[in-house]
Amino acid sequence: MTRAPPPLHDLWTRNQLQRAKLADLKQYLKEVKLPMAGELRDVAHRVKLHMDVVHEKLTIHVDGTSVSPFDLKPAQLRKQVALLGKDPQGNKDELLTLLIEHLQSTSTSSMPSRSDDLKATPGVKQAKAILELAATDDYSAILSASGIDVQPSSSTAIMRKAYLKLSLLVHPDKLPKDFADATRAFQALVTAYEMLSQPPELITAVPAKAKHGTMEIMRSNEGCHRTPVHCPRCHEAWGLPSHGCEPFDFNFLMMGLKTFHCATCLFEFGCMSAEHHCPHCHRRVEYHPNDFHRHLTCASCRKTYGFYMYKISNRREQEYRAAIRATQETKLKDKARKDERTKRASGRQTISDDMRSTQGKETLFAMNLLDACPRCGDDDVDPTEDSRMSHLRTCTNATKIQAYQIKMRHLSQVIILPLASSQKKYN
């Protein structure tokens, strides 16, 4: 049973109208009596402009009357664009874009204050907490900003649940346009999820020798596809030849050995945070590097598929692995330097991952982003910052703290099976 596509309004709120069907877009334009000519990109842009005007109630004063930009005659439209100091040459869609963007900017700047709105906007508080915790690479605390207590030993399913919950809040498309650090916060979230779900291990610099200078494929590619992979930031396809990607880049991404940058928005991501799609119905599917040598069955279309493994010369693979190893070593050195600075600042001899995680979660608890105290688990604390800081100062019952930590370590190791697809290994 196939799911119905999301309504146009939902796609508009997510800035994904280009994913709508052309027939649906044209039907919308027909209902509002606008031109339906053009390709999918042009039609989607026209629908977006109209929805922006309708939902933001954008109007312009002409001869003492407030009218919609779409109600302007061609001569009036060119005149209004010229009054903005813009070039009045171009087709109607181009002129409307200039005028509507100006109306959006003026309506935003004319508001009395955006600081209170930013504080009240869902996700801004989490984004600021993520940026604060990212300075110390406190990955488990970053994921815990979702309200789910994530430990370094938590299962991948728990980490993914926390990541998905946060990504719905701090994705740049969900945050206000004037929140300047939106992309940086989302990048910190993706990095935390990638690093925590797959702790970095130095890749072998020299691969196993292969015959005739080509890496041997230890399994068949029968029934395998180069499954579509999309950037989690802009949702554009990754790995196209026009992006300068080699075919074997697919191997390294899907095995979780290397992160890549999106050619469209330059966002860095890996296989855990990337958007994976079924090669048959193109629905979103769950993926883990352990699935690379398996066949999966799509939960939507019930078709089975595998992941294509590209050949790579032994020399090229050796160079590639050496470059990846050098990057990993650089990151590990940077992390060691950060740990050293944190150690000197705190005056402690050593700072373990658990200790760093607890410190970060105490920050989240004080910001009311965690319900329960990360030390004792008490969830009946007044939500004000003063009350929570006072609770942390007095939370010193060693027996209660130890019992709660044992309980959380046990819960963090509970494995939740993924629902998106069933798996079977290659024969």
Per-domain residue ranges for the chain? Answer: 6-107, 122-198, 225-307, 320-351, 358-415
Residue 93: CB atoms within 10 Å: 14
| Residue where the block lists tokens 């498309």 | 173
Three-class HEC string of 376-413 = CCCCCCCCCHHHHHHHHHHCCCHHHHHHHHHHHHHHHC
Are the C-beta atoms of residues 291 and 256 closer than 8 Å to each other?
A: no
Helix then strand count (H, E) for the chain reads 15, 11
The C-alpha atoms of residue 386 and residue 374 are separated, in whole angstroms, by 16
pLDDT at 218: 61
Block means of pLDDT (10 residues each) for the chain, 427 residues, are 59 75 87 87 87 86 80 86 78 86 69 45 84 85 88 87 91 85 92 82 50 55 93 92 88 89 91 94 92 92 94 85 82 75 58 57 73 78 75 80 74 45 42
Closest CA to 148 of 85, 193, 88: 193
- Residue 120 to residue 211: CA distance in whole angstroms: 62
* CA R_g for the chain: 26
- Which structure tokens are listed for 319? 């160079």
Residue 388: its H or E element: helix 385-394
Q: What is the DSSP string of 193-237?
A: HHHHHS---PPPSSPPP-GGGBPPPSS--TTEE---EE-TTT--B
Give the H/E segment covering residue 65. Answer: strand 65-67
pLDDT of residue 26: 87
The SS3 of residue 363 is helix
Of 373, 361, 334, the residue nearest 140 (C-alpha): 361
**How far is 412 from 153, CA to CA, in rounded Å?**
6
Residue range 223-259, pLDDT digits in tens: 999 999 999 999 999 988 888 888 999 998 998 888 8
Q: What is the pLDDT of residue 60?
A: 84
pLDDT at site 215: 47
Query: What is the DSSP secondary-structure string of 89-112?
Result: -S-HHHHHHHHHHHHHHHHHHTSS
What pLDDT score was predicted for residue 71?
A: 87
Alpha-carbon torsion, ordered 235, 240, 242, 246, to 10 deg: 130
Distance separating alpha carbons of residues 1 and 21, to the nearest angstrom: 19
User: Which neighbouring-strand residues pair with 269?
Assistant: 260
pTM of the complete model? 0.60
Q: For the domain 122-198, what is the CATH superfamily, name and number?
A: DnaJ domain (1.10.287.110)
- In this prediction, residue 209 carries a pLDDT of 47
DSSP 137: T
Residue 341: how many other CB atoms lie within 10 Å: 11
Amino acid at 368: N
How many Å apart are CA 131 and CA 61, to the nearest integer? Answer: 42
pLDDT of residue 279: 94
Rounded distance between C-alpha atoms, residue 274 and residue 287, angstroms: 9
